[in-house]
Structure formats: C-alpha cells, structure tokens
Structure 1
Amino acid sequence: MKTFQDIDEVLRFAMNEEQKAVDFYTALAKEARTEDMKKIFEQIAREEVGHKARLKRIKEEGKFTFDQGQVTDLKIGDYLVDVEPSPDMSYRDALVLAMKKEQATYKLYMDLSERAPAGDLKKAFLDLAREESKHKLRFEQEYDDYVLKEN
C-alpha cells in the first residue's frame, strides 16, 4: 500500500480531498430534496473551502515538524473512500458516501493530530477533525430523518 513520503504530500492530499468535498457538496446542494438540505450542503461546502484554506496556510507557513517515520507510516488507502459520486446516485447513496468521506477525513486529521507536536499545529488538526465529525453527524441525522423513515 502506498505511503506518504513527507508532510507536504500529506497536506496536498488533504487539500485535494477538501476540494473534492467542496465539489461533491456543491453538486448535492443542486439536487437537494428540500431547501433546508440545500442550505446545509451549501454550508458544508463553504466550511470545506475554509478547511482547504487552513491547510494551505499550514503548508505555506511550514511551521510543522514531523519526524519522517511519523509520516511514512500513514497509508494513503486508509483515507480514501472506494466509491466515487455519480450523476445517477440516489439520495441515500449520496448520504452514505458523504458519511464515509467525512469519516475518512476525520481519521486523517486525528492521525495527524496524534503525530503533531503540542501547540498550534496539533490544535489545528484536532479542530479540523472535530469539524469533519460534525459534518458526518449531520449526514447521519439526515439519513435517519429521511431515508430510514421512508422504509
């Protein structure tokens, strides 16, 4: 399984995943079943834009000190979701995919926080993990409210 070579590669990967999330949630907003869900998808897309910007600042500041071994034991496959969104994806499948994506990103940020030195960098990764966890919870609630009640 491919591993990350350095912290820059990890941050590039995370920024790319955040951009994919922005694109995904923007598309979901256009297909939302209710105005409330449209607003939620748009809000989460905006938050993901903020996450990407925060990661970009971290990368540009270069104030991180990770031991190379702490980075190379991160496996890229641990943070990928094996399902890609498709135009004909059902609302249920889109919610499941959203939950999986948020869980994978949460895991990445938690793993990075565990490897980061104490201080601002550790806090930044914990904050990002917390945000991803909130997103996942919101999709779980939507799944419970609309998908499970319909069945």
Structure 2
Amino acid sequence: MGKSRYWFGLVRRKFNRKSHGDITIFHSPSPSQEAIIGVEEEISNCGDRSSVSLESFKKKELTKEDIAAIKIQANFRGHLARRAFRALRSLVKLQALVRGVYVRRQTRIAMHCMQALVRLQIRVQARQLLISQ
C-alpha cells in the first residue's frame, strides 16, 4: 500500500507542476484544406489582390484533459525508454562477458599455435647445425 501512495503522489506532483509556457499544437491542413488553399491562391494570383495571407497551419488551444493526456504519454514513453535502456545495458554486459570468453579462447589457441611454430623452428635450426658440423 505504501508504494502505491508514493507512486500516486509522484504522479500528482508531476501533473500539478506549473509549466513554463502554454502548450500549443500546430495541425497541418488536411488534403481537402490544402486543395482549398491552392484554389484560393490561384484565384488570388488571377485577381487584383497582390498578396494573400493564408496560414498553412491552424493553431488549436488545448484543454486540461489534452494537457493531462500529453503529460501522461510523455511520462509513460520516458518510463518505456528507461526500461529499454536498462535491458539494453544488461544485454551489453552479457555480450561483453561472452566476447571476453571468446577472445580468451582465441588467444589461447593462437598462443598454442605460435608455441608449436617456435618448437618447429628450434628443431629445424638444431638439425641445420648438426648437418653443418
């Protein structure tokens, strides 16, 4: 019960915080609105008006419910991102462990091969010395 109170208190504090500015969303016009704007621009180019001030974006004021939904979505997406990052970090640690084992095995095999080559070189040099004497 204590954890849920803490969680709800945390959420309540986040939502009751005063924001530094108003949240506004700009909506792009729908295809039908774009067609109307295009027709209006063609008419204005043909007519006697020299310039038309048409906005391609429409400003929408947000209600408290919209702002609350945006905050909830932002916090939930942050939570998902943190969880994914934690999983990725543990995956990276596991990869490092496996690669470390693989590299140590590869190094052991390489050292064994080099040691065999050195023994072979020593035998060849010893044989050459025996033959030359």
After TM superposition, the score normalised by the length of structure 2 is 0.27
**More strand by proportion, 1 or 2?**
2
After TM superposition, the score normalised by the length of structure 1 is 0.24
